[in-house]
Amino acid sequence: MTCRVVVLLSGRGSNLRAIVEARLPIEIVAVIGNRPQAEGLAYARERGLTAVVLDHTEYPDRAAFDARLADEVAQHRPDLVVLAGYMRILSPAFIARFEGRLLNIHPALLPMFPGLNTHERALAEGVKIHGCTVHFVTVELDHGPIVAQAAVPVRADDTPDTLAARVLAQEHRIYPQAIRWFAEGRLVNVDGRVNLKDDLASQSVLSPGT
């Protein structure tokens, strides 16, 4: 049975595109966006995917929006829910319904720089290595079990934009890879650590490369 995937996004959708273009053994059964103008939704429609808009500004509060969002996601009977540039913190009630099958890509080497504006903060701290992390989503923001990471160098003349672009190229490599591992049933969660089945030597740390 192919893995049914629902993608949540808020913006550009380049990670969605990378996932689609990786030709994974998955079926993207819906792409749901909270901003009507999100480019990622336009891309999904172009590809003939089911694209759903749920505009959070039309709901009285986060709990009401998340309840509606959870019902919409559940309707598509996902095996996996993928956050791909989804910019709204998910309420505990939402997480409870999908925990263990919720992945996020975060543009930093967690547990450094959880939250927003990660590239600006990395530059301000003067770190020499930065990167991105795929993790399972839990109630505690950007603190769920880590599935894969990729590192990039920080250059002296970097701006938030040049650094973001270097990190984004790595996001496009490791997110499809992590989703493939999930779909193949190879991610094993042991005491909050994720192991890759048949690969105890941690190939899930992906260094930058070609």
Peptide bond into 111 cis (omega under 30): yes
Q: Name, in order, each residue with C-beta under 8 angstroms of 100's C-beta and a sequence gap of 6 or more.
A: 136, 189
Secondary structure (3-state) at 165: helix
Give the integer Cα–Cα distance in Å for 62 and 80. Answer: 22
Q: Is 144 in the site for ligand GAR (CB under 6 A)?
A: no
Q: Is 154 in the site for ligand NHR (CB under 6 A)?
A: no
Query: For the window 106-135, what string marks contact with ligand NHR as x by the rule CB under 6 A?
Result: x--------xx-------------------
Q: Is 88 in the site for ligand NHR (CB under 6 A)?
A: yes
Q: Is 12 in the site for ligand GAR (CB under 6 A)?
A: yes
Q: Is 32 in the site for ligand GAR (CB under 6 A)?
A: no
Interface with ligand NHR (CB under 6 A), residue from 24, 83, 84, 103:
83
Q: Is 176 in the site for ligand GAR (CB under 6 A)?
A: no
Determine the residue with CB nearest ligand GAR. Answer: 85
Instruction: Answer with the entry of ligand NHR, ligand GAR, none that 149 interacts with (C-beta below 5 to 8 A by kind).
Output: none
Query: Between vectors from CA 57 to CA 135 and to CA 60, what angle results, nearest 5°?
Result: 100
Identity at 118, one-letter amino acid code: T
Q: 93 and 114 in contact (C-beta within 8 Å)?
A: no
Distance from CA of residue 69 to its chain's centroid? 17
Please give the residue ranges that form the binding site for ligand GAR (CB under 6 A): 9, 11-15, 40, 84-85, 87, 105-107, 168, 171
